[in-house]
């Protein structure tokens, strides 16, 4: 089905009173999807570069430099840079930082740290977004398990992405796995539509009820990016920089993020 045929089907579903039918603007055309995919290739390349070079002793500013240099040498732009005043090119979130950590010359990676590197790319006006966790050397069993279970949550959420499924199934699968392991899903942040802008509809909850929420339709592109805390879900935003989100209880937090396309048969991960 092309986009026009899909939009006709959505109009019919709305007439039938089906709830949660996405707006037409959330369904990308083949041309737009091709553009987002090109952006996503660079975004994944940046994260591969980081994964090959990250190690004890470097600073988070070094990561910012790598991300900027790789992105710009591939003809693209770092979406975070000056986005709503964000001062750097990438988010680097260590240990009890939940997300939106700001790279700094003063922050040196040390053995046992867990760090999320969140990369977002603009190429020819098309946006892509993904993040990975990295463990510096070896960490404690507790922190390693948090990192691993968070990745499992993302994978379980992803498996729920299917045409004419519901976003609530994604959130439900993520939260159940978190709870089963004694963890809490952060509720203050979620995933988002992505592609023509950095953050689009729908808002992607990482918790939810089965068979509820937005209908998933071929041509939708969005992120799934669960953040897991060890004990309490609460976050506190730094009063100093206005960005860095810390766990309230100072315990570690983990996050993984993919951008995903809903297809006629299931899904396609665009950047990871
Ligand atoms: N990349 C983040 C996300 O997943 C957004 C970061 S906002 C920024 O949505 F300004 F810090 F870049
Ligand atoms: Co995102």
Model pLDDT, residue 141 = 98
By alpha-carbon position, which residue is closest to atom 12 of ligand 1? 80
Angle at 209 between CA 206 and CA 210, to 5 degrees: 110
Indicate the Cα dihedral angle 226, 33, 159, 212, nearest 10°: 70
pLDDT tens for 154-201 read: 999 999 999 999 999 999 999 999 999 999 999 999 999 999 999 999
pLDDT tens for 114-147 read: 999 999 999 999 999 999 999 999 999 999 999 9
Confidence of residue 75 (pLDDT cuts 50, 70, 90): very high
**Which residues sit opposite 93 in a β-bridge?**
116
Q: Evaluate: CB of 91 within 6 angstroms of ligand 1.
A: yes
By alpha-carbon position, which residue is closest to atom 2 of ligand 1? 118
Q: Evaluate: CB of 190 within 6 angstroms of ligand 1.
A: no
Q: How many residues does the chain have?
A: 272
Give 61: exposed, middle or buried? Use CB within 10 Å, 0-12, 13-18, 19+.
middle
Q: Evaluate: CB of 98 within 6 angstroms of ligand 1.
A: no
Q: Evaluate: CB of 64 within 6 angstroms of ligand 1.
A: no
pLDDT tens for 209-220 read: 999 999 999 999
Q: Evaluate: CB of 259 within 6 angstroms of ligand 1.
A: no
Could you identify the atom of ligand 1 that is nearest to the CA of residue 189? 9
What angle in degrees, to the nearest 10, is found between the helix axes of 30-53 and 60-73? 140
């Amino acid at each position: 089905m092309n986009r026009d045929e899909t939009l006709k089907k959505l109009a019919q579903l709305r007439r039938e009173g089906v709830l949660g039918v996405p707006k037409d603007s959330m369904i990308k055309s083949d041309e737009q999807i091709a553009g987002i995919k090109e952006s996503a290739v660079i975004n994944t390349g940046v994260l591969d570069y980081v994964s090959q070079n990250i190690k004890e002793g470097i600073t988070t500013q070094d990561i910012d430099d790598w991300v900027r240099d790789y992105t710009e040498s591939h003809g693209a732009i770092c979406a975070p840079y000056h986005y709503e005043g964000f001062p750097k090119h990438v988010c680097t979130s260590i240990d009890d930082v939940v997300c939106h950590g700001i790279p700094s010359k003063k922050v040196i990676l040390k053995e046992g740290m867990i760090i999320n590197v969140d990369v977002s790319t603009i190429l020819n006006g098309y946006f892509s977004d993904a993040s990975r966790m990295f463990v510096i050397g070896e960490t404690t069993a507790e922190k390693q398990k948090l990192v691993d279970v968070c990745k499992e949550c993302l994978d379980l959420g992803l498996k729920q992405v299917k045409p004419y499924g519901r976003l609530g199934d994604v959130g439900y699968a993520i939260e159940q796995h978190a709870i089963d392991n004694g963890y809490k899903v952060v509720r203050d942040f979620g995933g988002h539509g992505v592609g023509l802008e950095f953050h689009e509809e729908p808002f992607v909850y990482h918790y939810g009820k089965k068979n509820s929420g937005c209908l998933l339709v071929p041509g939708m592109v969005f992120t799934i990016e669960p953040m897991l805390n060890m004990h309490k879900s609460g976050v506190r935003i730094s009063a100093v920089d206005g960005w860095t989100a810390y766990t309230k209880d100072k315990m570690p937090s983990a996050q993984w993020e993919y951008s995903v396309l809903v297809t006629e048969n299931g899904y396609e991960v665009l950047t990871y």
